[in-house]
Each structure stands twice: as C-alpha cells, then as structure tokens.
Amino acid sequence: MTRISVIMALCLFAMPGFGQTADLASLLSGGDRPRTMTLKQFDSAWMRVLIEPMDTGGSGSMMEQLAQIGMLSDDSSPDKSLGLALLSSMSGRGKNTVLFTKGATLTIGSETFLVGYRPVKNAQNLLQAALESEKAGKDLDPSTLFGSARWNEDTVTELSLINTRAIGAISSVRQFELAREIDEGAPGSMSMLETLMLLGQSTSHQHSAPKEAKVGQAKPPAPQTKPSSTTKPRKK
C-alpha cells in the first residue's frame, strides 16, 4: 500500500509542468542544474515535499528503543544528554527529508531516482565539537550537534538524488512559498534538540536551586523591627 502511494505521488509530479527527465552527465557537470541553490532562488514552479524513508528495522529499531528507555530514566546529567543524541542519530530518527523538486527523475540501470534539492544541515562534527569543548574546559553544548532548524532566504540546499525504492512515503506536498518555509523552518528537526535543551535546563535548575540548611546549622537571625511608638492620651 505504501509503495502504491509513493508511485501515485510520483505520477502526480509527472503531470505537465512538473515531470521531467534528468540526464546524469548534465547533473554531475552542473550544466543542467546548479549543484546548490538558496531558498530565495526557488519559485512557485517548485514543489515542497516531505520524504519519509522506508522502515528497514534491524539495529536502528533497537537503538531507537534504547534511546526511548534512556529518556525515561531519572538521570539528567550532560553525559545522558550526549548519550541520547548519539542513540538518536544511530537509530535514524528525525531522518525525514524536506525536498524541493519539480518531479524530475533519473534512471540509472534499473533504479529510478527523484531529483531535487534538500537543505544542508550545518551540524558540527561530533568529535571536533568534543575536542573544542574539552580544550576550552567547558561542557559539550548539545545544540552544536544539530545545527539550526531556522531557515532564511539564504539557506543553502544541495542537489540530491533519492532512490524511489527507499522512499516509504511522500507527504506534505505543496507549492513552494518562501515566507512559509522561513516561518516553519525544518519540520521535526528540533524535536531531539528541544529534548536535550529541556534536560539541560533541568540540570541547570537543579544546580542553581538553593540548598536546604543542614540539621544543626544556625539560621541567620531575623531582622528586628522597632515597636511602633504610640502616644497615650493624658489623664485630666
């Protein structure tokens, strides 16, 4: 059923004005299409779609279960945040891809590829981020691992070929609107980041919370207030 829905979506792109056939040599040389485009270079002739990958199960599903178990634990340390980020990355969560396309396809051998552009993720290399944090004597900031989910008109997209056999579903099909893309940003890309930031806020709150006075420790004396002076009426 999923396969049929993907084929129907591709047939929709093949309608006049959208369906095209790409040439591999032209794609690789950059003569047919530029290798990169910014959001402001797209217009209403382009379609914005969400590509959901085929669920392959296996180790990815196991890693996802481990990540979910980790999120339920009481530990809110930075080490846990980093561990959850790694498990999430290994499980393939959040891999849904926003693609800007005109429905062009490319056939290589027996495989068919959907041609389009997807935003470049500015996620920092994990090892590099860890080394820089250690050198600076600071804790690793989880936000540096995921890049920014906010887009602007200069956000770069790169030419991409997506094998149609690896597509689980195509959803959220609509005409490209620059203002809407900037307003919505990358769908779903902040879910794990928001989780990590919440964990960080929780840890920071625990460290900054005032400690209770130990048993036997003298409390500071309360400030004394002078009694208000009142004048009594004189007896006649």
The answer to whether residue 68 scores a pLDDT higher than 70 is no
The answer to whether residue 16 scores a pLDDT higher than 50 is no
The answer to whether residue 227 scores a pLDDT higher than 60 is no
Instruction: Give the best-scoring range by mean pLDDT among 51-65, 77-91, 209-223.
Output: 51-65
In a domain, 84, yes or no: no
pLDDT of residue 163: 94
Instruction: Give the domain extent around 13.
Output: 2-56+94-120+145-205
Closest CA to 203 of 142, 148, 146, 131: 142
State the total domains in the chain.
1
pLDDT of residue 73: 53
The answer to whether residue 41 scores a pLDDT higher than 80 is yes
In a domain, 115, yes or no: yes
The answer to whether residue 24 scores a pLDDT higher than 60 is yes
Q: Enter the DSSP assignment of 183.
A: H
| Across 215-226, average pLDDT | 59
In a domain, 76, yes or no: no
pLDDT of residue 62: 47
In a domain, 225, yes or no: no
Please tell me the distance from the alpha carbon of residue 95 to that of residue 80, in angstroms, as a whole number.
Answer: 22
Give the DSSP letter string of the chain.
-HHHHHHHHHHHHTSTTT--B--HHHHHHTSSS-SEEEGGG--TTSEEEEEEEP---THHHHHHHHHHHHHTSS--SHHHHHHHHHHHHHHTTT--EEEEE---EEEETTEEEEEEEEEPP-PPPHHHHHHHHHHHT----GGGGT------TT-EEEEEEEEGGGEEEEEEEEE--HHHHHHH-STTTTHHHHHHHHHHHHHHHHHHSPPPPPTTPPPPPPPP-PPPP-PPPPP-
* 108-to-62, 117, 158 alpha-carbon distances in Å: 33, 19, 20
pLDDT of residue 22: 65
Position 217 confidence tier, pLDDT thresholds 50, 70, 90: low
pLDDT of residue 123: 52
pLDDT of residue 60: 43
In a domain, 194, yes or no: yes
Helix (H, G, I), strand (E, B) or coil at 36: strand
In a domain, 7, yes or no: yes
Q: What angle do CA 41, 45, 51 make, to 5 degrees?
A: 85
Per-residue pLDDT tens for 83-111?
555 544 444 444 688 999 999 999 988 99
Ranking 5-9, 95-99, 148-152, 222-226 by mean pLDDT, the lowest is 5-9
The answer to whether residue 78 scores a pLDDT higher than 70 is no
Greater model confidence, 124 or 131: 131
pLDDT of residue 210: 52
pLDDT of residue 92: 42
Per-residue pLDDT tens for 46-58?
999 999 988 655 4
In a domain, 77, yes or no: no
The average confidence (pLDDT) of the chain is: 69
Please tell me the distance from the alpha carbon of residue 23 to that of residue 106, in angstroms, as a whole number.
Answer: 7
* 18-to-60, 168, 175, 192 alpha-carbon distances in Å: 35, 21, 11, 35
In a domain, 14, yes or no: yes
Greater model confidence, 56 or 18: 56
